[in-house]
Amino acid sequence: MPDFRSDTVTQPTPAMREAMFKAPLGDDVFADDPSVNALQDYAAQLLGFKAALFAPSGTQTNLIALMTHCQRGDEAIVGQSWHTYRWEGGGMAVLGSIQPQPVETQPDGTLRIADIAAAIKPDDPHFARTRLLVLENTTGGQVLPPAYVAEATGLARQRGLALHLDGARLFNAATANAARHGSDVYDEARTLCGHFDSVSLCLSKGLGAPVGSLVLGSRDFIHRARRVRKMLGGGMRQAGLLAAAGQFALEHQVRRLAEDHAHLDTLAQGLQQAAESHPVLQGRITVQPWQTNILFTDIHADVAPALLAWLAQHQVRVTSGLYAGQSRVRWVTHLDVNAVDVAQALDCIARFKG
């Protein structure tokens, strides 16, 4: 049953389960779980930070970072379509009393530099104090161009803002940059992180761990972040069972992300062929540009219900929603999607008769 809903649906590999089973444990709230401490130290060194903090989810690590950077009444500039603004329950406002200042996301995933500059408030008591710029990479599977990241973060530095990266799929961005530059994925990840004061990294998406995310920053930042994590209920006890999975993922499941990107490329090209020549779907599917492991296809309203029902009937699992009067279908490749799954999905599409 090909499951393209998300890269969060992956199952731990046998080797990862063995690492979890053998993990030495302690009490992480007392900071004495050796497996959690090892993960935090390893990740910080790997990505060029002084310290890291393990937490249950990427939603929480983003919120921990935002609440560590900002006080009540401060403002964070975010993308209109980004997770920190749209997909995390409004946590920065509800729990952090942080005012989000959303900026329109451009088709390539960026925020226009001029829009960021215009969103920064003057030092005036009538306004919330603009304190933080948040970027997201990847965003909808799109990779922010390195030159753009340097320009946006340079502007923020000039205006005295702190910088946070929602890097839930940081290593997908690094994998794409490494393929483009002929460089090493870990080097690319460190370069991406080097522009930011803090980074949130999800271990349970493409990296394939069952649970957990990291927030990375300076020693002082992580010291303050630990208090926020406790406040939010993110302090866990014998969390080394989960941390061991995260460390295994960082050590063994980063380079294989290139396979996910290759599988998505095959899937996207097959769907593009259907958009051009399928007897029913020709002209009724628009395949959006793709770069990593996430693809969006827009399907005309007159055929979308039948196609989605057909996919479900044949156990090809996707997510969908309405977008500009059409059904936007999201396809995500990951650790548990292989070449056979992609072929089965394309064969299912080919056999669709409306």
Give ∠ CA 215-85-330 in degrees, rounded to 5. 90
% pLDDT > 70, the chain: 100
Please check the confidence at residue 120 and state whether its pLDDT lies above 90: yes
When pLDDT is cut at 50, 70 and 90, the band that residue 245 belongs to is very high
φ/ψ of 252, rounded to 5, equals: -120, -15
Rounded-to-integer distance, Cα 235 and Cα 213, Å: 13
Average pLDDT, the chain: 97
Rounded-to-integer distance, Cα 134 and Cα 166, Å: 7
Which amino acid, one-letter code, is at 53? Answer: L
User: Is residue 183 within 8 Å of residue 177, measured between CB atoms?
Assistant: yes
What is 14-252's CATH number, 3.90.220.20, 3.40.50.720, 3.40.640.10, 3.30.70.60?
Answer: 3.40.640.10
As a whole number, mean pLDDT of residues 178-196 equals 98
When pLDDT is cut at 50, 70 and 90, the band that residue 233 belongs to is very high
When pLDDT is cut at 50, 70 and 90, the band that residue 354 belongs to is confident
Count CB atoms within 10 A of the CB of residue 287: 20
Taking the alpha carbons at both ends of the chain, their separation in whole angstroms is 21
Secondary structure class of 341 (helix, strand, coil): helix
Comma-separated ranges of CATH 3.40.640.10 domains in the chain: 14-252
% pLDDT > 90, the chain: 98
Rounded-to-integer distance, Cα 278 and Cα 109, Å: 30
**Three-state secondary structure of 267-283:** HHHHHHHHHHHCCCCCC
Please check the confidence at residue 116 and state whether its pLDDT lies above 80: yes
How do the residues of the chain divide into helix, strand and coil, expressed in percent and rounded to 5?
45, 20, 35
Question: What is residue 76's predicted lDDT score, i.e. its pLDDT?
Answer: 98
* pLDDT tens digits for range 53-106: 999 999 999 999 999 999 999 999 999 999 999 999 999 999 999 999 999 999
* pLDDT tens digits for range 20-56: 999 999 999 999 999 999 999 999 999 999 999 999 9
- The predicted model scores a pTM of 0.96
Comma-separated ranges of CATH 3.90.1150.10 domains in the chain: 257-350
Question: What is residue 325's predicted lDDT score, i.e. its pLDDT?
Answer: 84
Question: What is residue 1's predicted lDDT score, i.e. its pLDDT?
Answer: 77
As a whole number, mean pLDDT of residues 106-130 equals 96
Please check the confidence at residue 229 and state whether its pLDDT lies above 90: yes
DSSP state of 106: P
Check whether the bond before 138 is cis (ω within 30° of 0). yes
Question: What is residue 328's predicted lDDT score, i.e. its pLDDT?
Answer: 96
The CATH architecture to which 257-350 belongs is Alpha-Beta Complex (3.90)
Environment class of 239 (CB within 10 Å of its CB; exposed 0-12, middle 13-18, buried 19+): buried
As a whole number, mean pLDDT of residues 225-229 equals 98
Question: What is residue 324's predicted lDDT score, i.e. its pLDDT?
Answer: 81
* pLDDT tens digits for range 319-345: 999 888 899 999 999 999 999 999 999
* pLDDT tens digits for range 122-165: 999 999 999 999 999 999 999 999 999 999 999 999 999 999 99
Strands (E), 137-284: 162-166, 198-202, 213-217
